[in-house]
Amino acid sequence: MGLVGSFPFNSFLSGVLSCIGTAVLAVCLRIQVNKDNKEFKDLPPERAFADFVLCNLVLHLVIMNFLG
Amino acid sequence: MATTALDFLPAPLRSLRLKTKQQELLLRVSTLALIYVLAFAVRLFSVLRYESMIHEFDPYFNYRTTLFLSENGFSEFWNWFDSESWYPLGRVVGGTLFPGLMVTAALLHRLLRALSLAVHIREVCVLTAPFFAANTTLVAYAFGREIWDSGAGLLAAALIAIVPGYISRSVAGSYDNEGVAIFALLLTFYLFVRAVNTGSLAWALASAFGYFYMVSAWGGYVFIINLVPLYVLVLLVTGRYSQRLYVAYNCMYVLGMLLAMQIRFVGFQHVQSGEHMAAMGVFFLLQVFYFLDWVKYLLNDARLFKSFLRITLTCVISVGTLALGIGTASGYISPWTGRFYSLLDPTYAKDHIPIIASVSEHQPTAWSSFMFDFHILLFLFPAGLYFCFKRLSDATIFIVMYGLTSMYFAGVMVRLILVAAPAVCLISAIAASATIKNLTTLIRTKSKSPQATSGKTTGSKAAAKGAVDQSLPFQHNAAIALLLGAFYLLSRYAIHCTWVTSEAYSSPSIVLAARGHNGGRVIFDDYREAYYWLRQNTPPDAKIMSWWDYGYQITAMGNRTVIVDNNTWNNTHIATVGRAMSSYEDEAYEIMQSLDVNYVLVVFGGVTGYSSDDINKFLWMVRIGGGVFPVIKEPDYLVNGEYRVDKGAAPKMLNCLMYKLCYYRFGELTTEYGKPPGYDRVRGVEIGNKDIKLEYLEEAFTTSNWIVRIYKVKPPKNRS
């Protein structure tokens, strides 16, 4: 009974948005780390990865709150 | 290095002499500190003149909920069902308010208590708005520095500290959502522009949190969720697509949307409401742009890419319009709500939603309001737009768009001058700062050219400049004159702002003040007198019927159940009250019995000349009641289209409940020397029906200046 929860749209949305969110964040990380991109020349890759981890953390915390 | 005055100091003090860079830092920091204190201090007029109390109507609801939150904790607050308002329906408070303001005040209160400063929550509530106004100046400084340079930032901070358009909604005591929301708005915009400029995920995450704070604070967050996609669209259209933009917008949109959906009042609107679809559309458009950019990079062939581009664009546009069409047609995507639709079509509210049209803050803005609220910023704004266009970058495009859209909306609705104020301050600061910088450079090069160094290119340039300067002999003097003129304008601005704050925007509106005939100040504290009478002399479960303006104050100060209040979420309920007020006494008695009303409260200004009373609002009661119950017709209350209360008034007007309750026993009262008894000082006429007898109600309380009158509803007779 307690498996799915009683707010199906919440769960659906959190599923969809977590997929989109992680995809988007991964793309952003890849953009920032790629050495061919002139715009991110002076951004150290460690900083890009740290940002990526932080954003994912926030994303998943909010998703967990939103699951219903 | 030239000798300065500091060289003449004794040796130990000379070590304290700072380098120019440190001097500049000290100057900047001390200026910002002074601006911070100024922004706080200028909003304290009403606290010093009257007392530390909450103003107006809406802040009383916010205060009551903050009190509840601080006493019962967040979980109780989030799930609170209030049965003391909108009797018999009640109100789901947890799900129908924006919690940002209350949570902020409760947290500040808790922080102060943790530091062993035992302040009452009311003091915290009263001073929240000035505190956040001071914080807004800091954000304005950072934003100005991001867009232009630190000089513009300082000037923007100084301008926004005292601009009357912002002060009007953030004085001490005005405990309303806007006080916190403007801070959140400017913070979100600053963080987003910084994210676009740096392309860093961390700044985009910060802007998402800023957006979350804005969503929790005010319904005006719809402005952000539409302006930011519009800005991205403009950047895409003008060929400024960059990967920094992609990173910034994507992170902010996804995380911001998720965070915003945590607020119960907002719910799923980000995916279901028409007002939020622009953001989603731009999100998908940005993905398409990125995809096309990547394919272009992979293909390395212009012609192949062109055909690919054509195919993709047609596919995307058709899919997009199809999705939007299906969503809107099937009703899944709800259309724009009346509140925001009336911003795009200003005539909509007057015809369809009289409640929105009746609020005085929702009227279109007059030029005098613009001048009153902005003063010199009004002509510095176009000048600033010119400077922004001269140095176009991603950041200046943003501020131009923010300025233009907010000025358009400020023209549609008076209340939205508040949203335009930060943009106007920033753009004007750019104009003033750039002008002053040019003028001072002009003065300094003239005085430096005789000392030009020899043999270097800079020397020849300076000599050339000196030669040019020689040909325009009055340039130096003109620059000095213009500089003095600029300083004069800014000082007049400061004087105007202080005067406006002192005279116009510092009245608590629950306590009225006037000048007596001998020049002394007379205070009318009738509202609070009436509410405390209710609190102390009525049974705890008494239900009060009044017009919706006073609902929040009655529940907060009188602590009694009301029928309708300022939330105005149920138009039919308000129309029922309006119908009761405009009917004859016996019909009104039936309605009051059906609503279990025990007391009726009316506001009457005829004795004191207070013009915002219920008789002046009466036509709106008729219109709103008539909008739901066709039995109430507005022409019944007018004579030849004219609204009168004297002998020539319509018979229905002379005998309706509102008229009887306001003018009961008024016919015996002499209000002004030389005028007959029953002379209404607001309407300026002698009333028509002086001999009023009430059958189903009896007078319970009238305040000392007759401003608030309370009547008790008699129970039905034992024998019919």
**Could you say which of B201, B246, B271 has the minimum Cβ distance to residue A55?**
B201
- Tokens, residue B285: 């458009």
Residue A18 falls inside a structural domain? yes
| CA B176 – CA B38 distance, rounded (Å) | 21
| Model confidence band, residue B8 (pLDDT cutoffs 50, 70, 90) | low
| CA B137 – CA B124 distance, rounded (Å) | 20
| Closest CA–CA distance from residue B664 to any residue of chain A (Å) | 55
- Tokens, residue B488: 């004069």
Q: Give residue B690's pLDDT.
A: 84
B73 — alpha (psi -120 to 50), left (phi > 0) or beta?
left
Residue A29 falls inside a structural domain? yes
Q: Give residue B12's pLDDT.
A: 62
Of chain B, the percentage scoring pLDDT greater than 70 comes to: 93
DSSP string, B287-341: HHHHHHHHHHHHH--HHHHHHHHHHHHHHHHHHHHHHHHHHHHTTSSBPPPHHHH
pLDDT surpasses 50 at B691? yes
Question: Quick check: B570 contacting A, CB < 8 Å?
Answer: no
pLDDT surpasses 70 at B13? no
For A10, name the nearest residue in chain B, comparing CA atoms only: B268
Options 3.50.50.60, 3.40.50.300, 3.40.50.12610, 3.40.50.2300; which CATH number does B523-713 get?
A: 3.40.50.12610
Helix B177-198 to helix B417-448 angle (10° resolution) is 50
State the DSSP H helix or E strand holding residue B600, giving kind and residue range, or none if neither.
strand B599-603
Q: Give residue B135's pLDDT.
A: 96
The stretch B515-532 carries a mean pLDDT of 86
| Closest CA–CA distance from residue B716 to any residue of chain A (Å) | 48
State the best of B197, B209, B258, B291 to mutate against chain A, taking most chain A CBs within 10 Å: B258
Residue A62 falls inside a structural domain? yes
| CA B26 – CA B406 distance, rounded (Å) | 35
Q: Is A25 exposed, middle or buried (0-12, 13-18, 19+ CB in 10 A)?
A: buried
The stretch B140-149 carries a mean pLDDT of 95
Residue A50 falls inside a structural domain? yes
Q: Can you give the residue range of the structural domain that contains A57?
A: 8-66
| CA B171 – CA B130 distance, rounded (Å) | 6
Residue A41 falls inside a structural domain? yes
Question: Quick check: B308 contacting A, CB < 8 Å?
Answer: no
The answer to whether the CB of B229 falls within 8 A of the CB of B281 is yes
The stretch B398-415 carries a mean pLDDT of 93
Taking only the tens place, the pLDDT of each residue in B555-599 is 999 999 999 988 888 889 999 999 999 999 999 999 999 999 999
**Could you say which of A40, A48, A59 has the minimum Cβ distance to residue B258?**
A59
pLDDT surpasses 60 at B470? no
The stretch B317-326 carries a mean pLDDT of 87
Q: Give residue B466's pLDDT.
A: 47
| CA B671 – CA B662 distance, rounded (Å) | 15
| Closest CA–CA distance from residue B107 to any residue of chain A (Å) | 21
Question: Quick check: A25 contacting B, CB < 8 Å?
Answer: yes
Domain count, chain A: 1
- B216 vs A contacts (CB less than 8 Å): none
**Could you say which of B255, B261, B271 has the minimum Cβ distance to residue A58?**
B255
- B243 vs A contacts (CB less than 8 Å): 31, 37, 39-40
State the best of B247, B271, B332 to mutate against chain A, taking most chain A CBs within 10 Å: B247
Determine how β-strand B81-82 pairs with β-strand B91-92. Answer: antiparallel
- B290 vs A contacts (CB less than 8 Å): 27
Residue A1 falls inside a structural domain? no
Residue A3 falls inside a structural domain? no
Q: Give residue B273's pLDDT.
A: 85
| CA B649 – CA B667 distance, rounded (Å) | 16
Taking only the tens place, the pLDDT of each residue in B219-233 is 999 999 999 999 999
User: How many CB pairs below 8 Å do chains A and B form together?
Assistant: 69
| Closest CA–CA distance from residue A5 to any residue of chain B (Å) | 17
How would you label B447-470 residue by residue, b for 16+ Cβ within 10 Å and e otherwise? eebeebeeeeeeeeebeeeeeebe
Residue A25 falls inside a structural domain? yes
The stretch B59-85 carries a mean pLDDT of 91
| Closest CA–CA distance from residue A2 to any residue of chain B (Å) | 21
Q: Give residue B462's pLDDT.
A: 45
Q: Spell out the domain ranges in chain B.
A: 21-175, 180-334, 365-445+481-497, 523-713
Q: Give residue B452's pLDDT.
A: 45
Q: Which of B20-29, B97-106, B358-367 has the lowest mean pLDDT?
A: B358-367
More confident position, B333 or B531: B531
pLDDT surpasses 60 at B505? yes
DSSP B554: I
pLDDT surpasses 90 at B128? yes
The stretch B190-197 carries a mean pLDDT of 95
How many CB atoms sit inside 10 A of residue B582's CB? 30
| CA A7 – CA A16 distance, rounded (Å) | 15
pLDDT surpasses 60 at B108? yes
**Could you say which of A20, A32, A54 has the minimum Cβ distance to residue B254?**
A20
Q: Give residue B464's pLDDT.
A: 46
Question: Quick check: A33 contacting B, CB < 8 Å?
Answer: no
Residue type at B113 in one-letter notation: R
pLDDT surpasses 60 at A1? no
The stretch B694-704 carries a mean pLDDT of 92
pTM for the full model? Answer: 0.88
Q: How many residues does chain A have?
A: 68
Q: Give residue B457's pLDDT.
A: 43
Taking only the tens place, the pLDDT of each residue in A28-64 is 999 999 888 888 888 899 999 999 999 999 999 999 9
Residue type at B12 in one-letter notation: P
Q: Give residue B475's pLDDT.
A: 81
